[in-house]
């Protein structure tokens, strides 16, 4: 896992460490010191800690004018033991929502497992973004993680599956990813 870096090819457009509105403004990352781990597997030092011991994040892009952010996740999403959704919502999402972000794209191809608990924070997040004409879309979720989300009935709070689960997002610029995802979201919502 230590070789899996957050996607880096949009850094000429946006870096979370240089964004004065981000929770990681001014953060410096080592390329050589591996300080984060998911259980006994160290992860690349470019990933950012959201407060969980098993789930890490990188904000790949945020556009405050258009009101959207693209997050990449790595690790185990464990609500049962660590209440990761609460940490994600309280520590990251609410910070960006206070800056006007209401549309969230979460890239989950490096989320290895999902362990559910209750849906309180999912429901709260969904209601807050819906009230602001926003949404939450999940891209490229592993099939077994998608099944776990569906089995726990958490999928009702996200737009996921179908073309969203096989999007070659790395071949696009961030604005194009947003446009594609938003068009799929609008189609599904019947807007």
**Per-residue buried b or exposed e for 43-53, using 16+ beta carbons within 10 Å of the residue's own CB:** bbbbbbebbbb
**Per-residue buried b or exposed e for 16-39, using 16+ beta carbons within 10 Å of the residue's own CB:** beebeebebeeeeeeeeeeebebe
List the beta bridge partners of residue 72. Answer: 58, 107
**Residue-level pLDDT at 42:** 85
Q: Where are the alpha helices (DSSP H) in 70-134?
A: 79-82, 84-87, 94-97, 120-131
Class for the domain spanning 16-189: alpha beta
What are 45-88's pLDDT values in tens digits?
Answer: 889 999 999 999 999 999 999 999 999 999 999 999 999 999 99
When pLDDT is cut at 50, 70 and 90, the band that residue 38 belongs to is confident
When pLDDT is cut at 50, 70 and 90, the band that residue 129 belongs to is very high
Q: Angle at Cα 43 formed by Cα 61 and Cα 169, nearest 5°?
A: 35
**Residue-level pLDDT at 191:** 57
Instruction: Tell me the C-alpha distance between 174 and 151, whole Å.
Output: 31
Domain spans of the chain? 16-189
- Those residues whose C-beta lies under 8 Å from the C-beta of residue 93, and which sit 6 or more positions away, are 104, 125
Which residue carries 């972000």 as its tokens? 101
The pTM of the full predicted model, rounded to 2 decimals, is: 0.94
């Amino acid at each position: 896992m230590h070789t899996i870096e957050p996607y880096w090819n949009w850094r000429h457009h946006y870096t979370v460490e240089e964004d004065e509105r981000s929770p990681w403004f001014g953060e410096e990352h080592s390329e050589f010191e591996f300080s984060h781990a998911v259980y006994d597997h160290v992860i690349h030092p470019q990933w950012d800690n959201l407060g969980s011991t098993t789930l890490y994040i990188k904000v790949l892009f945020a556009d405050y004018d258009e009101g959207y952010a693209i997050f990449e996740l790595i690790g185990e999403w464990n609500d049962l033991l660590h209440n990761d959704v609460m940490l994600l919502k309280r520590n990251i999402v609410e910070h960006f929502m206070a800056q006007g972000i209401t549309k969230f794209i979460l890239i989950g191809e490096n989320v290895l497992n999902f362990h559910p608990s209750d849906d309180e924070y999912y429901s709260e997040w969904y209601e807050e973004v819906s009230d602001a004409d926003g949404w939450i879309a999940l891209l490229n979720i592993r099939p077994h993680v998608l099944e776990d989300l569906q089995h726990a009935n958490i999928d009702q709070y996200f737009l996921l599956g179908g073309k969203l689960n096989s999007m070659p997002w790395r071949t696009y610029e961030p604005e194009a990813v947003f446009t594609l995802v938003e068009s799929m979201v609008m189609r599904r919502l019947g807007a």
